[in-house]
């Protein structure tokens, strides 16, 4: 028996066939086109799920979906979505009608945290915090194998903790949120600003060579080549990432903090500086929590979404 896991992001939507052991046997990705009408996005999700099941050819029990924002897990209704137009929609019920399968819905970062706890870097830990750095910043907390549940569906939104009062405008309506400084979107913004200030830098030359398109990887590529402008961008970015991670450690005191999302592909290039900055600022002055990159990489949310039904039914 297999499960379909869907990871809905502000940039892309990924769906995969996942075995009971947490192995992804087939994966497909489409562009989210996040600010279209929500019904169109849900139709794309349903079509993607059908494509995955058809191409994989296995027998499927249900569909699990992770979305980037507040979710009422009991009713299957999405609430505030900062980076995609899915606010206040009965996603679970609509997808069940479209696909004919039972659907489980949760926050995407909670799914990533569950995936890493079941079959990734946090496997076997009593308490873990998983941070996803993508279009936005997500956070999921697992305690003794269970997703930490909030009272009113808005818990765990660590990306919307303010770390720079009166700072950059965030999609949630506030200013200075961690998401506006630690997401891949923020890294791209910082890279573009640096290119304007230093048009002769290696970072700017790499961007021009790529037709002017700046990605989250570009600054890392230029920094690896020794470009001072890119090194400064990355260092500033990782200080902000570390600021939020420090806050989470001070609040939860977890055994392990897992860093996921596309940036996690950089491995020790990001982990070592983050650990250094966190150790400097963490309460008590001693860093006890492990800080690691996601073992499942960008598949963490997809795997966790696929495990949602088993998690809710107590079968993990």
pLDDT by residue (tens digit) across 203-223? 999 999 999 999 999 999 999
Residue among 34, 29, 31 at smallest CA distance from 6: 29
Q: Measure the CA–CA gap between 294 and 289, rounded to whole angstroms.
A: 15
pLDDT by residue (tens digit) across 155-183? 788 999 999 999 999 988 999 999 999 99
- Using an 8 Å Cβ cutoff, are 68 and 19 in contact? no
pLDDT score recorded for residue 213: 93
Query: Residue-wise over 224-255: b if at least 16 C-beta within 10 A, else e?
Result: eeebebbbbbbeebbbbbbbbbbbbbeebebe
Residue among 149, 175, 150 at smallest CA distance from 160: 175
**In sequence order, what are the residues at sequence separation of 6 or more whose Cβ sits closer than 8 angstroms to the Cβ of residue 137?**
131, 158, 159, 178, 179, 182, 183, 244
Residue with tokens 């949120």: 177
pLDDT score recorded for residue 46: 98
pLDDT score recorded for residue 157: 87
Bridge partners of 12, per DSSP, are 31
pLDDT score recorded for residue 69: 84
Which stretches within 62-160 are classed as H helix? 91-99, 108-119
Q: Measure the CA–CA gap between 160 and 171, rounded to whole angstroms.
A: 9
pTM: 0.89
Domains of the chain: 2-115+299-312 (3.30.420.40), 124-183+230-295 (3.30.420.40)
Say yes or no to pLDDT of 314 above 70.
no
Q: Measure the CA–CA gap between 38 and 60, rounded to whole angstroms.
A: 26
pLDDT by residue (tens digit) across 237-291? 999 999 999 999 999 999 999 999 889 999 999 999 999 999 999 999 999 999 9
- Using an 8 Å Cβ cutoff, are 191 and 219 in contact? yes
pLDDT by residue (tens digit) across 39-90? 999 999 999 999 999 999 999 999 999 998 888 888 999 988 878 999 999 9
Say yes or no to pLDDT of 118 above 80.
yes
pLDDT score recorded for residue 81: 82
pLDDT score recorded for residue 316: 58
């Amino acid at each position: 028996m297999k499960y379909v896991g869907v990871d809905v992001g502000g940039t892309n939507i990924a769906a995969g066939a996942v075995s009971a052991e947490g192995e992804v046997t087939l994966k497909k990705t489409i562009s989210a086109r996040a600010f279209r009408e929500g019904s169109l996005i849900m139709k794309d999700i349903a079509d993607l799920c059908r494509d995955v099941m058809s191409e994989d050819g296995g027998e499927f029990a249900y569909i699990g979906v992770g979305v980037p924002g507040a979710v009422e897990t009991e009713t299957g209704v999405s609430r505030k979505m900062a980076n995609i137009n899915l606010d206040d929609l009965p996603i679970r019920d609509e997808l069940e009608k479209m696909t004919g399968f039972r659907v489980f819905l949760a926050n995407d970062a909670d799914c990533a945290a569950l995936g890493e706890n079941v079959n990734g870097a946090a496997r076997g830990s009593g308490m873990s915090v998983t941070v996803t750095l993508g279009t936005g910043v997500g956070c999921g907390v697992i305690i003794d194998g269970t997703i930490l549940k909030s009272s009113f569906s808005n818990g765990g939104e660590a990306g919307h903790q303010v770390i720079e009062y009166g700072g950059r405008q965030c999609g949630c309506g506030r200013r200075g949120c961690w998401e506006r400084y630690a997401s891949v979107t923020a890294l791209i913004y910082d890279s573009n600003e640096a290119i304007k200030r230093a048009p002769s830098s290696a970072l700017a030359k790499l961007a021009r060579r790529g037709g002017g398109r700046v990605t989250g990887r570009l600054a890392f590529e230029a920094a690896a080549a020794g470009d001072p402008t890119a090194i400064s961008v990355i260092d500033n970015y990782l200080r902000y990432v570390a600021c939020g991670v420090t806050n989470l450690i001070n609040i939860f005191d977890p055994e392990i903090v897992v860093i996921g999302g596309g940036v996690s592909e950089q491995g020790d290039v990001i982990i070592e500086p983050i650990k250094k900055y966190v150790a400097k600022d963490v309460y008590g002055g001693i860093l006890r929590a492990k800080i690691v990159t996601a073992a499942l990489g960008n598949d963490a949310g997809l795997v966790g979404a696929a495990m949602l039904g088993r998690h809710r039914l107590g079968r993990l």
